[in-house]
Amino acid sequence: MTQDDSVDQAIARIKAIDWELKDYRAASHIALLKEYLRRASLWATALDCADKWPFFDVAAQIDFSLRLDEAKVEALKRYLAPFPVSRTIRRMCEWFVHWAVVKNSPQVTKTALPDPYEPLILLYERGGDFYLEQGFFHFPVGCFPRGTCSQHYNLVPHILLDEQVLDRLDKGC
């Protein structure tokens, strides 16, 4: 897959998101955020930028010269503008597309670390939303503490990013 294909695919995924909240999937939303936090911790540690964790532009930390064309960034911002999503979510979508620019670069492939943004994009695709307030991530059904970068550092995935696994989690199985 070429860099342009990766970028186009990332933009298409964001544009395909139905921003309607689906609270019945809260269990998978929480698990997906925890998996994102784990992955972000791995990347923040590898890139020596734990102070930027939990929400940061991984691609910029890898190579700021490899960025998405500014016109595409602005088009994405305009696309997201009418949706009732937080600034954090907007930024994560933008960073996900910047990630598409660098994800197949030698700097990334040599690390063998997982895609940092995939859990969050899945969370959004599954109708998830959250916010961070007073050190807690809040969901419509509850919250959990933010913790620290080192507390989330773990090589073992929190959850398998598989639709069937996530659906079973939401059904309480």
At 172 the pLDDT is 86
Tokens of 50: 């734990």
- pLDDT, average across residues 161-168: 95
Paired strand residues for 139: 142
Quick one: which of 76, 52, 18, 54 has its CA closest to 132? Answer: 54
Report d(CA 116, CA 103) in Å as an integer: 10
The pLDDT of residue 1 is above 70: no
Residue 89: its H or E element: helix 87-102
Taking 90 as the threshold, does the pLDDT of residue 12 lie above it? yes
The Cα 123–Cα 125 span in angstroms is: 5
Residue 31: band (very low, low, confident or very high) from pLDDT cuts 50, 70, 90: very high
CA dist 142 → 30, 38, 131, 132, 138 (Å): 9, 20, 11, 12, 6
Q: What is the pLDDT of residue 66?
A: 86
Residue carrying structure tokens 């595409």? 72
Q: What is the mean pLDDT of residues 49-77?
A: 94
Q: What is the pLDDT of residue 37?
A: 98
**Per-residue model confidence as pLDDT tens digits over 96-134:** 999 999 999 999 999 989 999 999 999 999 999 999 999
145: phi then psi, degrees, rounded to nearest 5: -70, 145
**Alpha-carbon gap, residue 120 to 116, rounded angstroms:** 8
pTM: 0.94
Instruction: Specify the pairing of strand 131-133 against strand 142-145.
Output: unpaired
Average pLDDT along the chain: 94
Binned at pLDDT 50, 70 and 90, residue 8 comes out as very high
State which amino acid sits at residue 66: L
CA neighbor of 161 nearest in space, from 4, 14, 31: 31
Report the chain's terminal Cα–Cα distance, integer Å: 36
